[in-house]
Amino acid sequence: MGWFFAAVLLGVLLLGLLLTHRLRRSRRPDEPPLDKGLIPWLGHALEFGQDAASFLSDMQKKHGDIFTIQAAGKFVTVLLDPRSYDAVLWESSSKLDFGQYARILMDRMFDVQLPDYDPKKEKAMLKTTLQNKNLTTLTQAVSFNLRTILLDSSKVHGQWEEEGLFHLSYSTMLRAGYLTLYGNESKNYEDVSSQAKDRAHSLEVYQRFYELDRLLMKAARSNLTTAERKKITICKQDLWKILSVEKLNSRANRSVWLDSYKQHLVDLGLDEDMQTKAMVLQLWSTQNNAGPAVFWLLLFLLKYPSAMAAVQGEMEKILKSKNRATGKVDWISQEILDGMHIFDSALKETLRMTAAPFISREVLQDMSLKLADGREYHLRKGDRLCLFPFISPQMDPEIYEEPEVFKYDRFLNSDGTEKTDFYKGGQKLKYYTMPWGGGLNVCIGKDFAINSIKLCVFLLLSSLDLELKDPKAEIPGFDKERYGFGMLQPDKEVIVRYKRKDQ
Ligand code: HEM
Say how far apart CA 172 and CA 39 lie, in whole Å: 45
Q: Which has the closest alpha carbon to 354: 466, 268, 453?
A: 453
Phi, psi of 385 (to 5 degrees): -115, 135
Asked if residue 357 has its Cβ within 6 Å of ligand 1, the reply is yes
Enumerate the H helices of 322-417 as residue ranges. Answer: 334-338, 341-354
Nearest atom (ligand 1) to Cα of 130: 30
pTM: 0.94
Residues flagged as binding site: 108, 114, 289, 384, 443
Tens-digit pLDDT profile for residues 35-88: 999 999 999 999 999 999 999 999 999 999 999 999 999 999 999 999 999 999
- What's the 163 CA to ligand 1 centre distance in angstroms? 27
Whether the per-residue pLDDT at 502 is higher than 90: the answer is: no
Inter-residue contact 482 to 217 (CB < 8 Å): yes
Say how far apart CA 176 and CA 185 lie, in whole Å: 13
Whether the per-residue pLDDT at 305 is higher than 50: the answer is: yes
Q: What percent of the chain has pLDDT over 70?
A: 92
- What's the 120 CA to ligand 1 centre distance in angstroms? 14
Nearest CA to ligand 1 atom 3: 289
Asked if residue 448 has its Cβ within 6 Å of ligand 1, the reply is yes
- Centre a 10 Å sphere on the Cβ of residue 392 and count the other Cβ atoms it contains: 27
Residues flagged as binding site for substrate: 108, 114, 289, 384
- What's the 441 CA to ligand 1 centre distance in angstroms? 9
Whether the per-residue pLDDT at 278 is higher than 60: the answer is: yes
Say how far apart CA 437 and CA 287 lie, in whole Å: 16
Say how far apart CA 43 and CA 76 lie, in whole Å: 11
Nearest atom (ligand 1) to Cα of 257: 30
96, β-bridge pairs = 363
Whether the per-residue pLDDT at 12 is higher than 90: the answer is: no
Supply the DSSP string of 436-484, one letter for each residue.
T--GGG--TTHHHHHHHHHHHHHHHHHHEEEEESSTTPPPP-B-GGGTB
Asked if residue 173 has its Cβ within 6 Å of ligand 1, the reply is no
Asked if residue 439 has its Cβ within 6 Å of ligand 1, the reply is no
Supply the DSSP string of 104-153, one letter for each residue.
HHHHHHH----TT--HHHHHHHHHGGGSHHHHHHHHHHHHHHHHHHH--T
Q: What is the pLDDT of residue 120?
A: 86
Most confident of 17-31, 154-168, 340-354: 340-354
For the chain, the average pLDDT equals 92
Asked if residue 393 has its Cβ within 6 Å of ligand 1, the reply is no
Say how far apart CA 436 and CA 127 lie, in whole Å: 14
Enumerate the H helices of 252-303 as residue ranges. Answer: 256-267, 272-287, 290-303
Tens-digit pLDDT profile for residues 321-359: 765 544 455 668 898 899 999 999 999 999 999 999 999
Tens-digit pLDDT profile for residues 434-467: 999 998 889 999 999 999 999 999 999 988 999 9
Whether the per-residue pLDDT at 21 is higher than 60: the answer is: no
Burial of 328 (0-12, 13-18, 19+ CB in 10 A): exposed
Asked if residue 148 has its Cβ within 6 Å of ligand 1, the reply is no
Residues flagged as binding site for heme: 443
Q: Which has the closest alpha carbon to 167: 295, 355, 285, 284?
A: 295
Q: What is the CA radius of gyration of the chain?
A: 24
Inter-residue contact 320 to 395 (CB < 8 Å): no
Asked if residue 258 has its Cβ within 6 Å of ligand 1, the reply is no
Nearest CA to ligand 1 atom 13: 441
> Residue 1's pLDDT band (boundaries 50, 70, 90)?
very low
Residues 6+ positions from 41 with CB-CB distance below 8 Å: 19, 22, 23, 70, 72, 73
Helix 272-287 to helix 165-182 angle (10° resolution) is 130
Q: What is the pLDDT of residue 390?
A: 98
- What's the 335 CA to ligand 1 centre distance in angstroms? 23
- What's the 162 CA to ligand 1 centre distance in angstroms? 31
Say how far apart CA 111 and CA 277 lie, in whole Å: 7
385, β-bridge pairs = 77, 361
> Residue 273's pLDDT band (boundaries 50, 70, 90)?
very high
**In the predicted model, what is the mean pLDDT of residues 251-256?**
98
- The size of the chain, in residues, is 503
Nearest atom (ligand 1) to Cα of 452: 27
> Residue 5's pLDDT band (boundaries 50, 70, 90)?
low
Inter-residue contact 26 to 34 (CB < 8 Å): yes
Residues 6+ positions from 280 with CB-CB distance below 8 Å: 110, 236, 239, 240, 243
Residue 443, Cα to own-chain centre: how many angstroms? Answer: 9
Instruction: Please tell me whether residue 363 adopts helix, strand or coil conformation.
Output: strand
Asked if residue 286 has its Cβ within 6 Å of ligand 1, the reply is yes
Asked if residue 285 has its Cβ within 6 Å of ligand 1, the reply is yes
- What's the 17 CA to ligand 1 centre distance in angstroms? 40
Asked if residue 71 has its Cβ within 6 Å of ligand 1, the reply is no
- What's the 445 CA to ligand 1 centre distance in angstroms? 6
Sign of CA dihedral 102, 270, 126, 445: negative
Q: Which has the closest alpha carbon to 64: 75, 72, 56?
A: 56
**HSE-up (13 A, CA, CB side) for residue 58:** 11
H/E segment holding residue 67: strand 66-71
Asked if residue 183 has its Cβ within 6 Å of ligand 1, the reply is no
